[in-house]
Amino acid sequence: MSIASQRPPAWTRVVLQSAGMFNVIAAAGVIVMAEWLDRRLGSSAPPSPLMSEGWHALAVWMAVFGLGFLLAARDAYRHWPVVLMGLLSKAGTGFWIGWDILHGRAPDLMWWWIAFDTFAWSVPFLAILQSAYEASLAQKRTIAPEVLRFALRRKTNLGVSLDELSRLSPVLLVFLRHMGCTFCREALADLAAMRKQIEQEGARLVLVHMSSEETAARFFARYGLDDVQRISDPERTLYRAFGLPRGRFGDVLGPKVWWRGFQAGVLGGHGVGKLMGDGFQMPGVFLLFHGEILRSYRHQSAADRPDYMALVTGRNYAAPEFSDR
């Protein structure tokens, strides 16, 4: 997971700095706690390794991780392995202490330690790891200049390359879901309704799909878009070149997708059809001009509905990967 160029949000620094200070302070407290437990338990129960000399090892362990958290706070994304190891360490320590409590080798009061040190820190640590993972995905979607130059050589059904088209006028390049998807059909209906406005702004449409050219010609004709230039990409090489990934389960079959699918497919009358392509391939929209990407919209879920005019004009534009959701 290489995410060195991404800047973590400020809250990750606060979490790791707090965790670091807690660990360093708690490490000193562990030494005192070991002596207190020895006096409290006396000889009523044989001490486990953790309850005797293991406490001193635990104190050193916590201090080391505390310093690690403080250092990792400078860039939580770059140092995500420290966060992961810290999470596993707290889980392991919590299990160890809980085992001794259940076997009478530690007082019930120690459940409070487990609740705070193990469970309370797990939530923000997991949030940091999730955020780092999403940042990693976003970076993978970033298009390298050399990849873009190669991708723009791709020709439409009329034999004109994307690079050539983009030097004649802005190109609204729309990557579609498979043609059986209700959101693909909804997108085509939206584009058909906005086509005149898009062209009045000086842009032209180009559609990218995963079906054969013959199938696409018939399908797009249903929306009056059969004369729009298109690119057949059943191998999804152009999708990948533009950084559009295969979605996760929740991206294509999550609760939001089902509800929007009902709205678009049933209430909107777009219906559904058989699978024609990769059902997990995510769509996206790019505005090209003079061989460069001016604006983009990468769907965060299959149910997203882009504002195509905002992409063309730049008014009220916000890419979903950079907006608050």
Q: Summarize the confidence of residues 315-325 as an average pLDDT.
A: 49
Counts of helices then strands in the chain (DSSP H, E): 13, 5
pTM: 0.60
* Residue listed under structure tokens 């389960």: 249
Sorted by where each begins, the domain ranges of the chain are 10-140, 145-313
Measure the CA–CA gap between 87 and 105, rounded to whole angstroms: 25
For the stretch 59-112, pLDDT in tens is 787 888 889 999 999 999 889 999 999 888 888 777 777 777 777 766 676 677
Least confident of 57-61, 122-126, 137-141, 316-320: 316-320
pLDDT of the residue at 324: 38
* Residue listed under structure tokens 């001193």: 56
What lies within 8 Å, CB to CB, of 31 at 6+ separation is 55, 56, 59
77 three-class SS: coil
pLDDT of the residue at 317: 55
For the stretch 179-191, pLDDT in tens is 999 999 999 999 9
Q: Where are the alpha helices (DSSP H) in 141-254?
A: 145-151, 162-168, 182-200, 213-221, 237-241, 249-253
Contact 175, 285 (CB under 8 A): yes
Share of the chain above pLDDT 70, in %: 82
Task: For domain 145-313, give the CATH number.
Answer: 3.40.30.10
Measure the CA–CA gap between 157 and 232, rounded to whole angstroms: 8
Phi first, then psi, for residue 229 (nearest 5°) are: -65, 145
pLDDT of the residue at 78: 87
